[in-house]
Structure 1
Amino acid sequence: MKRMLMHGHGELLQTAVLLGERLIDFFMEQSESSGMVGNVYKGRVVNVLPGMQAAFVDIGLGKNAFLYIDDLLHPHLEKQPEQKPSITELVKPGQELVVQVMKEPMGSKGARVTTHFTLPGRWLVYMPIAGYVGVSKKIMAESERSRIRMIGERLRQGEEGIIMRTAAEGECQESLGADVEQLRKLWTGIQERSLTAKAPSELHREAGLLRRAVRDTLTDDIDEVWLDDASRYGEAAALLEEMTPHLVDRLKLFDARREKTSLFDRFGVTEQIDAAFQSRIRLESGGSLVWDETEALTVIDVNTAKYTGAIDLEDTVFNTNMEAADEIARLLRIRDVGGIIIIDFIDMENESNREKVMNRLSDWAKRDRTKCTVFGWTRLGLLELTRRKARDNAARQLNERCPACGGTGKKSSALHV
């Protein structure tokens, strides 16, 4: 049984996905300050830095947005110049520019923006100027990849680009064509607004978490969808009627007053979330993970702890590492970790065991909704991977920095005279 639970409390919406009773995905958003990734703005170039091949653009968010030269050049690699020009040849201070947010402001950094526009639909992603058709790597059958690629080529016009999402597998041309037409009209509206809008101003706001969850996460393998907010339940029902009417009967309203408990408590989510965000996570075998996050880097240490195994040391270490790989993949999704991730697995003598552990994590990475790349073992025996970072992760949204220790988890023991 696979369930999606949506807990609404005022402006906050939290979404959890359970496989059986186990939490496998979690995301949250404050609707009053909803995510900016995907929003389109008309901005004004404030400063151009040739030494960094970048520009800063005022899009009306307080902090200027960062625009790198690669996000100004044509999105199709075959249509880019052999040598990159200086960014001073492409933009000037005071120039007005339409851009899309690709990374939200984080810490002291402003948003990162691009001119490679992408508008996601239910079945595909529409790109106004990409000039190619792509197919999700998660669609494995070559015959199906060829079929929907051909449909994409028939549907796109001129310089348009299309990426067929995993959900497009098995869909007919009529459904895919309707998606393209809707997104094409959306882009036309953005262009028309950009002609009269004064910079800086917002031209398009990406869908909120509820719509994104229905569009991106609610697939045919979800057996039940529970909401505990009556108004959001009505909105979700309308979205399902629009996008996937055959799933409407899977939508259920949870009455917390009648049940005398919260939706997340009823399905054991609260306890699992609390455990997932600890700095030390216990494994079922008795091993443990020690988790340490900074703004750009996450380090995970794997320990055998109380697990002693039953055969020999190599077997004990291998089993602990395999279990840790599964748990780390799950926690990366729940905590929505992005950036560079370094995992210090327990040392293994057997090279084939090292390969099995890396392959296990690679298999999980392929199923991740967020782009995740496993690079392999470093010379120091650490496993290195990256995960796309677009928003502040859930840990920073759920937790506040401790005013006493400043987030270090340590208290000075020095004597003050």
Structure 2
Amino acid sequence: MKEIILQGQAQQMRAAVFEEGELVEVHEEEGAFTHLVGNIYRGRVENVLPGMQAAFVDIGLEKNAFLYVADAVPPSFEDDPRSKTKPLPRIEQVLKPRQELLVQITKEPFATKGARITTNITIPGRYTVLMPKTDYIGVSRRISDEEERNRLRELAKNISPQGMGVIIRTLAEGVEGKELEDDLKKLLELWYHIIEKLPHASVPGLVHEDVDLLSRMLREWIDSKVEALTVNQTEVADGLRNTLRKLGHPAANHVRLVYKENLFEDYSVDEEIRKALRPKVWLKSGGYLVIQQTEALTVIDVNTGKYIGKSSLEHTVLHTNCEAAEEIARQLRLRNYGGIIIIDFIDMTSEEDQKQVLTTLEKACAQDKVKCQIMGLTQLGLVEMTRKKVGQTLAARYGKPCPVCEGLGWTLK
């Protein structure tokens, strides 16, 4: 079961996503929490750096944005044979100082780093993604049925605008062609509206701002697993019901209105956030995780803690590791950690037990909309995985480094 809690307070809107009663994601929108990913800007190239094969672009934010050469040329796709024959050009062949560009933010600014941007604009809808600058046709990898993939691919070819690309999203599985066409038509109208605004937009400056939190929720999170939505504002509840009815979603009948200013209190959301800002995470069995984030990667250590098991050491270790695998997937989503992740599970001698733990981790990560890739065990018995970096971490949104220890966690005697 999936439930979404929406809490409106003053000018702030916050959303919490629960799966099987566990908090897995928190989103908010106001002030410093404003969502930047997806925004489109007119920018000006400030510096071209051949040694980094990248450029810094002024888009009007506090820090210049970072544009890597691969994001400044037409994109490569793993299943497109044409892309395998095209080596990347050098950045100085693509960009020149003072050159004006239309770019889109793909990663939020973080700490001392500016936003990461791309010239490959994408306009996402509920069922489709419009790519105005490439003619690629793709289908979400999460749709595994080959017959359905072929059906959707053919539909995409038929409805795609000439010279533009379309990606069919996971939510489109089982959706009829008319709905896909209507969805894409709205995106095309939005793109033409953006083009019309270009001559009147300043350089650097914002051209198009991505949709607000409520609209993103309807676009990204409302899937077949959502069974309930709980909100504390009448107008929000009415708007959700009307939109969900138009989409034919059964959750339209399960929008619950609770007149309470701090709705998150009933669901212990803020308490879960406080726990997720600590390095130690206790498991229900009595074992625990220690999660440490560094500049380059995130390291997770698994320990049996208070759990002593019942039958054998092997069973105790397997039970702790499987429970840890599920919790690790939840913590990565909740904390929004990305990049390289190294997990030190408790040593297992049985290959069958190792496979079971990896399978548990893969299954738990499959629930994550952000792309995760599990590489397997290293020679040292560590599990390597990656998770795409999207947006700011929970710690960056709700905290700041200690001015005394500068994030070390220790002070000198």
In which range does the TM-score fall when normalised by the shorter chain? over 0.9
Equivalent residue for 2:208? Answer: 204
Equivalent residue for 1:82? Answer: 86
Indicate conservation of the 8 Å contact 2:228/2:255, yes or no.
yes
Equivalent residue for 1:227? Answer: 231
Percent of residue pairs identical: 41
Equivalent residue for 2:334? Answer: 334
What's the TM-score once normalised by structure 2's chain length?
0.93
The worse-fitting range, judged by mean Cα deviation, of 43-52 and 321-330 is 43-52
Q: Secondary structure at the match of 1:224?
A: strand
1:76 and 1:270 map into 2 onto residues whose CA distance is 41
Q: Secondary structure at the match of 2:326?
A: helix
Residue 165 in structure 1 maps to residue 169 in structure 2: yes
Indicate conservation of the 8 Å contact 2:289/2:302, yes or no.
yes
Aligned residues: 409
Q: Secondary structure at the match of 2:8?
A: strand
Deviation at 1:83, TM superposition (A): 3.1
Amino acid paired to 1:221: K
1:76 and 1:294 map into 2 onto residues whose CA distance is 30
1:163 and 1:174 map into 2 onto residues whose CA distance is 16
Residue 117 in structure 1 maps to residue 121 in structure 2: yes
2:318 and 2:361 map into 1 onto residues whose CA distance is 14
Indicate conservation of the 8 Å contact 1:31/1:208, yes or no.
no
Q: Secondary structure at the match of 2:291?
A: strand
**Unpaired runs of at least 5, structure 1:** none
Deviation at 1:113, TM superposition (A): 0.7
Equivalent residue for 1:311? Answer: 311
Cα distance 1:267–1:110, how it changes in 2: closer, same or farther (>3 A)?
A: closer
2:95 and 2:258 map into 1 onto residues whose CA distance is 53
Indicate conservation of the 8 Å contact 1:76/1:132, yes or no.
no
Deviation at 1:230, TM superposition (A): 3.9
Map 1:15-54 → 2, pairs under 5 A:
15-30=15-30, 33-54=33-54
Q: Secondary structure at the match of 1:256?
A: coil
Indicate conservation of the 8 Å contact 1:122/1:243, yes or no.
no
Deviation at 1:291, TM superposition (A): 1.4
1:80 and 1:205 map into 2 onto residues whose CA distance is 34
What's the TM-score once normalised by structure 1's chain length?
0.92
Residue 152 in structure 1 maps to residue 156 in structure 2: yes
Deviation at 1:69, TM superposition (A): 0.9
Deviation track 1:177-210 (CA, whole Å, cap 9, x = no partner) reads 0011110111112122223423111111111222
2:322 and 2:58 map into 1 onto residues whose CA distance is 47
Cα distance 1:411–1:141, how it changes in 2: closer, same or farther (>3 A)?
A: same
Indicate conservation of the 8 Å contact 2:277/2:394, yes or no.
no
Indicate conservation of the 8 Å contact 1:42/1:197, yes or no.
yes
Indicate conservation of the 8 Å contact 2:229/2:251, yes or no.
no
1:112 and 1:37 map into 2 onto residues whose CA distance is 9
Amino acid paired to 1:219: D
Of the three residues 127, 131, 140, the one matched with 2:131 is 127
Equivalent residue for 2:260? Answer: 256
Deviation at 1:231, TM superposition (A): 4.7
1:312 and 1:7 map into 2 onto residues whose CA distance is 47
Deviation track 1:46-67 (CA, whole Å, cap 9, x = no partner) reads 1111121111111111211111
Equivalent residue for 1:399? Answer: 399
Deviation track 1:270-298 (CA, whole Å, cap 9, x = no partner) reads 44333333321111111111111234421
Equivalent residue for 2:180? Answer: 176
The worse-fitting range, judged by mean Cα deviation, of 333-342 and 291-300 is 291-300
Indicate conservation of the 8 Å contact 1:15/1:28, yes or no.
yes
Deviation track 1:18-41 (CA, whole Å, cap 9, x = no partner) reads 234332333333256511111111
Indicate conservation of the 8 Å contact 2:7/2:231, yes or no.
yes
Cα distance 1:362–1:97, how it changes in 2: closer, same or farther (>3 A)?
A: same
Indicate conservation of the 8 Å contact 1:39/1:205, yes or no.
yes
1:99 and 1:56 map into 2 onto residues whose CA distance is 12
**Unpaired runs of at least 5, structure 2:** none
Deviation track 1:101-150 (CA, whole Å, cap 9, x = no partner) reads 11111111111110111111011111112322211122222211111111
Cα distance 1:400–1:237, how it changes in 2: closer, same or farther (>3 A)?
A: farther
Equivalent residue for 2:58? Answer: 58
Indicate conservation of the 8 Å contact 2:66/2:115, yes or no.
yes
2:286 and 2:83 map into 1 onto residues whose CA distance is 54
Q: Secondary structure at the match of 2:366?
A: helix
Q: Secondary structure at the match of 2:292?
A: strand
Q: What is the aligned-residue RMSD (CA, Å)?
A: 2.1
Indicate conservation of the 8 Å contact 1:100/1:115, yes or no.
yes
Amino acid paired to 2:216: R
Cα distance 1:184–1:228, how it changes in 2: closer, same or farther (>3 A)?
A: same
2:55 and 2:109 map into 1 onto residues whose CA distance is 16
